[in-house]
Amino acid sequence: MLRLCCFIGLMCSVKSDPAERCDSITRLSIYSAFVGTGLKVKQLLYTRQNPDCAEMLDSKASRYLNVTRRTTFIIHGYRPTGSPPIWLAELVRLLLAVEDMNIVVVDWNRGATTFVYHHASGKTKKVAEILKERIDQMLKDGASLDSIYMIGVSLGAHISGFVGQMYNGTLGRITGLDPAGPLFNGKPPEDRLDPTDAQFVDVIHSDTDALGFRETLGNIDFYPNGGLDQPGCPKTIFSGLQYFKCDHQRSVYLYLSSLKKNCNITAYPCNSYRDYRNGKCVSCGEGANRTLSCPLLGYYADKWKNYLTQKNPPETKAFFDTSDKEPFCMHHYFVDIITWNENMRKGSITVKLIDQAGNSTESKIDHEPTKFQKYHQVSLLARFDQELEKVAKISLEFSTGTLIGSNCKLKILRMRLRSIAQPEKPHLCRYDLVLTENTETDFQPIPCPRYGDVASGKL
């Protein structure tokens, strides 16, 4: 049998034994969740030589394992219904597309499948001990701890941490995808994932108010949309199971997006989500590293490793917003506004950008009221889900939150739109505008002067 495997820029043909058996992750039923399952761990190997036919690693010599390459362990979490993770096959495929590596899917579905959560969480350290045996054997065969990468989802993130502790933090990297919070929040470092568990630990927190872990756990902790409710996820329990798992799973889909390279999800190191939304954290690095590129979410987050290891402590939090669907990227701009009302105005601004073809993208800057004072510039952080090549029209709408009976006006002396990610992109300006509350005002912007107010921030 001839199998053709196609990767980006790579075509390979592999002859396989007609009798070769393809292993797959365990699939269980609701019945298994009711009665509970004893722990049994399978380790399924995928490589570019067997991308769609897993080899189960056991005591026999492997046909495909090459210990000179990076080895990535993927560890799933709690499986209350016994079904395999729906994202697993795509994660394997995308990882193999970006790098020639060994991928070991750690199947502990027998053990993770139960309606009693603490029965599953109680098995995590035993899973870690089994994985240590595998890594020990790989080290004997010539592998390096530097080349070991663990991606753990929910309970799997803490399993990764336990493995890292057994090697005193010398594993190459651990990525925690919304590490489990219940029964782990408030625990000491030895009982959960911790920044010292690998040479580099990056964590995505997407459900900190329910199933995820609240506090920082890594060298860099990413908080999409503040780590709370994720755009596009159900808001009420009437949506069924998705209401409970959508926010939690979003961390996985954000990581997958980073492998697809449709766009880079950029995050901004900051003390809080509020500071990020208020535009206080749009440059990255400190001191001589002030011009350092901001960290990228997901697979390429380790590009920040060298910078972080110079910090004391070598840890940071990073915040960003996403759209409600793939590729999730948002494009950040500053909207600088100077007003000339005699009295202060307090409210929110909605900004819409339109290109010549009629495509539009909108940003509501309404997380908290903005104070507009006479001749005082406010710089509002606008986040758009599209990057328009050329903006032909801009629409502004001002609101104080009063829906009817208000004719409040905001008199704008100057408005300026500037890209944060592409500072070289021409700034767009408009002068002498009057916004009537709850009414869209659109206009054609003009290029800002190249000198003067662009250079100094003044008129």
Binding residues for Ca(2+): 192, 194, 197
Kind and range of the H or E element at 53?
Answer: none
The single-letter code of the amino acid at 292 is L
- Residues with catalytic roles: 154, 178, 248
| Residue (of 389, 395, 399) closest to 366 by Cα position | 399
> Cβ contacts of residue 248 below 8 Å, gap of 6+?
154, 178, 206, 207, 210, 211, 212
With H, G, I as helix, E, B as strand and everything else as coil, classify residue 150. Answer: strand
- How is 55-100 classified by DSSP, letter by letter? EEPSSSPPSS--TTS-EEEEE----TT-PPPTTHHHHHHHHHHH--
Which residue in this structure is represented by tokens 């799933």?
Answer: 76
> Cβ contacts of residue 82 below 8 Å, gap of 6+?
27, 28, 29, 30, 32, 33, 37, 109, 113
Strand 102-108 relative to strand 71-75, pairing? parallel
Whether the CB-CB separation of 233 and 244 falls below 8 Å is answered with no
Kind and range of the H or E element at 143?
Answer: none
CA 219 to chain centre: 15
- In sequence order, what are the beta bridge partners of 332? 383
Sign of CA dihedral 308, 311, 314, 317: negative
CA distance 53 to 92: 11
